[in-house]
Every structure is written in structure tokens, then in C-alpha cells.
Amino acid sequence: MYARVLRPLLFLLPPDVAHALGFAALAPIERFGPVRALVRAAVTPARDDRLVVRAMGLEFPNPVGLAAGFDKNARRPRALAALGFGHIEIGTVTAREQAANPKPNLFRLPADRGLVNRLGFPNDGAECVAARLRAARGSVSAPVGVSIGKSRVVPVDDLNAVIADYVASFDAVGDVADFVVVNVSSPNTAGLRAMQAREHARALLGNIAVRAASRSPPMPLLVKIAPDLADSELEELLAVIEETGLAGVEATNTTVMREGLATARGVIDAVGAGGLSGPPLRRRALEVVRRARARLGRKAVVVGVGGVEHAGHAMALVRAGADFVQMYTGFVYQGPSTAGRITRELAAMVEQEGARSIAELVGVEAPTSGSIRRGSRSDGQASSGVSRPND
């Protein structure tokens, strides 16, 4: 129904208006426990222990999470968890409240099933968002992470000020988040991606890591990285992640690249700058996940983000080395039942593979005959065994 009726109607509206309507529709689910229970029963599969992911001292009911950006201010975490997501990531939040970049700042590329945004971390401020999460804590049926970023007013060339700004956000959300993600890779805050350079990253991540480790229990800390890093830059950043003892990485954020799109060049030029998400990001996300797993080893957590629309896409990221995955753009295009559908399909795939759990398939090359071949890494491009539209 969503793809046939609701999405065409919503896509007649500007993206920000459609998002606001979707958010409004989630309000009764967020506010009323009986409504959440009905929605959960309607769209969420029963718990399947084969899909449970245990990582960072947390238990995720399934490996399909909602990426940061959809719920920037922790206004709908209970509703979104009721839709079947295995975790919810809030934000990105900043130490200081800030508005969005000037409109228009959000665009659809339907020919590529993609989105372009240049929102620039609009949020109510870390302390306000933390207060909302504190009020909801205990009634969200999945782990909640919080993504933190740099306040726009803090000059990127003042490293001490940048570190203090991130630390303020971390301190604000540290008591209410299940894990924290350091976003140094959005293309929509001027100069932010410079924080991925080795020396800057070491100073920033090292300082936050000390704060995270001092908590009881220690706060799991991830860093979200850009898909547009050169391989040598990526290896340097992964080395810093090893040095600073972070729990792992989210791979990847949105891309500034525009090559190989089905959308007409004139439309792309008219949209202009911003981060592109959705299927065009999928191949690079697989590559970065694979590199992260190879460099960081089995103890690190790797979250695959980029182009997940179907279970086959999620499984490709798992086989490349992801412990679990996140989606956002696929949720917009596929609708509110997406997480539950992907979870059911993943369960069928795990059963088809003869695996005891999806964790057994992390970093395992896709079989070509019917048996699982363990110990080798996937290229992420093999058949998933689930029918889906052409990529």
C-alpha cells in the first residue's frame, strides 16, 4: 500500500513537508503504549534468536537499525522501535542548538532512489535531546545510540574549541545513550571532514575516548566515517581508531560524489551541494566495511550503512564484515514496514544458509554451492538468494 498509494502522494510534496507529515503520523505510536503494541504486533516479526546481535555489551533484537538523521531530536524513538528496528540512532546533535541550513536543503532523486541533503545538523541541542531520551528511557524496545557533531559556530581551525564542543555533547548524552557515535564526516558542516585527518582525529577521538572509558560501565564509542576518503586516508583513520581504543566504526556517511547516476545531469546540477544517500552509496559502503573489518579485526564493531533497501543488501554488508546495518533512505522509499520485512527475509536467508545465527556469516564469503564457506571475506556482490529489483 505504501509504494502504490502513500509514497506517490507524499512525493508530490516537498521532502521536508512529507517528512513532517510522516513524523506527525508517528505521534500516536510514540505517546500511547497500547498503540505501540498494536503496531509492533502488525509489522514486527516475533523475536528470532538467530538474528539477535550481541555487541558493545548490548543486545540488539535484530541487525537492522535506523540511521541518524531521521529523528534528530529524540521525538519518536519509541514509535520507530515499534516499527521493528533493532536499534535507533538519534541526531546528529550538537552542544549548541542550531537551525538548519537555508532552504531548500533536502531533495529526492527518484531515478536513483536517493536523497541529497544539506541540512547541517539542525537540532535542539544536546542537553534538550538528552532530556527527551531520559523521559523515554525504559520504554524504547531497542538500544538507542546518539550521534554527536560539531556546533556550526565553533571554528574548525580551533582544535581545542572543537574538542571542547564535542566533549560537551558527549557529557550531555552520556547518561541516556546506549552508545555514542562521533560524526566527523558530514559534508554539510564547513570543514568538518578535516577532523578525519590523522592528527586531528587522534586528538579529538582520544579525548572523547578517555571520557567514554571513565564511565561505569564504559560508554561504547563509534566514529562515523566518510565514503569519500582515499584508501590511504581511510587506513590512517582506521589506525587512529585502533590507537584510541574506540569500539568501532559506522561505514559510511553520505557522499559528495555524483558519478554514475541515472538522474539527469541538469537535475543534479540544479540540486547542488549536499550529501547523497541511498543505492548510489552501496558499492563504496561495502568496500569501506570490508577494509574496516580487515584492519580492525574481529573485536571491533562495524556498522554497515549505505543503500540498504532489501535483505540482500543487508546481507551483503554482513558478509563484507558488518555486525549489523543501518538504513534511512530505504526507509523513506520503502515505507514503515521495511524493517520488519527485511528482518523476516534475513531470518529466511540465515535458515537457508544453515547457520545458527547471522553472526556466523559476518565476513564470510557467499557460498556458490549451498554450503557456507567460512574464514574468507565476501566481495559483497554475490547473490543473496532473495528476489529483489535490479540494483
Q: At 334, which helix (H) or strand (E)?
A: helix 329-334
Q: For residue 260, give the C-alpha cell.
A: 554514475
How far from 227 is each of 26, 35, 120, 123, CA to CA, in Å? 31, 39, 18, 24
Q: Which of 73, 78, 91 is nearest to 32 (CA)?
A: 78
Fill in the DSSP letter of residue 100: P
Question: 183 CB contacts (<8 Å, ≥6 apart)?
Answer: 68, 91, 92, 147, 148, 149, 192, 224, 253
Distance CA 266, CA 261 (A): 12
Yes or no: say if 196 and 233 are a contact pair by the CB < 8 Å rule: yes
Instruction: Give the HSE-up count for residue 355: Cα atoms under 13 Å, Cβ half-sphere.
Output: 23
Cell of 280: 548510489
DSSP letter assigned to residue 127: H
Query: Other C-beta atoms within 10 Å of 47: how many?
Result: 11
Distance CA 348, CA 42 (A): 19
Catalytic residue among 151, 185, 186, 384: 186
CA-CA distance, 13 to 215, in Å (whole number)?
A: 45
**DSSP conformation letters of 282-313:** HHHHHHHHHHHHHHH-SSSEEEEES---SHHH
* 186: annotated active-site residue: yes
Catalytic residues, by residue number, are 186
